[in-house]
């Protein structure tokens, strides 16, 4: 007899309560990151020496604003996953580990929200 709830069966997770999601998201964001890095470097090179007005004007183009937003969101999700692994690999004291994992998430969320807010502010001229 299978001692699992229907939800447990569907989720298919063992006692670790985690599956391949972390690994898979790391790869998804890695693949998405390739064109976005090309965009980011291209954008910065095209706007070298640009004034603030020119940067703001570039964000009025929805394609540029959306691509920059995707770059930030993808980068932040990827770096959070990555640093999580680094913390789990090297920090073995529980309270320090969980504190660092917490700070990792906080820092990532602050970076994402701040970056997206700045892009949105320039793009729609708040």
Q: How many residues bind another protein (CB under 8 A)?
A: 33
Measured in degrees and rounded to the nearest 5, phi and psi for residue 16 equal: -75, -15
Smallest Cα–Cα separation from 77: which of 121, 123, 115, 119?
115
Cα–Cα–Cα angle for 100, 112, 69, rounded to 5 degrees: 150
Contact 84, 21 (CB under 8 A): no
Encoded one letter per residue, x for contact with another protein by CB under 8 A and - for no contact, window 21-60 reads ------x--xx-xx--x--xx--xx--x--xx--xx----
3-state secondary structure of 119: helix
Contact 33, 76 (CB under 8 A): no
Encoded one letter per residue, x for contact with another protein by CB under 8 A and - for no contact, window 53-92 reads --xx-----------x---x--xx--x--xx--x-----x
Residue 95 engages another protein in binding (rule: CB under 8 A):
no
Smallest separation (angstroms) from another protein to the CB of 64: 12
Sequence-distant (6+) residues with CB within 8 A of 109 are 76
Smaller CB separation from another protein, 83 or 101: 83
**Binding footprint of another protein on the chain (CB under 8 A):** 27, 30-31, 33-34, 37, 40-41, 44-45, 48, 51-52, 55-56, 68, 72, 75-76, 79, 82-83, 86, 92-93, 111, 114-115, 117-119, 121-122
């Amino acid at each position: 007899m299978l001692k699992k709830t229907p939800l447990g069966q569907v989720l298919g997770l063992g006692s670790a309560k985690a599956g391949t999601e972390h690994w898979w998201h790391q790869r998804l964001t890695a693949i998405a990151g390739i064109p976005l890095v090309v965009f980011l470097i291209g954008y910065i090179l095209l706007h070298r020496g640009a004034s603030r007005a020119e940067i703001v004007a570039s964000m009025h183009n929805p394609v540029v604003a959306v691509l920059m937003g995707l770059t930030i969101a993808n980068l932040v999700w990827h770096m959070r996953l990555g640093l999580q692994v680094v913390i789990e690999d090297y920090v073995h004291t529980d309270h320090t580990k969980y504190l660092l994992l917490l700070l990792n998430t906080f820092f990532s969320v602050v970076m994402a929200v701040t970056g997206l807010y700045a892009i949105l502010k320039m793009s729609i001229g708040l």
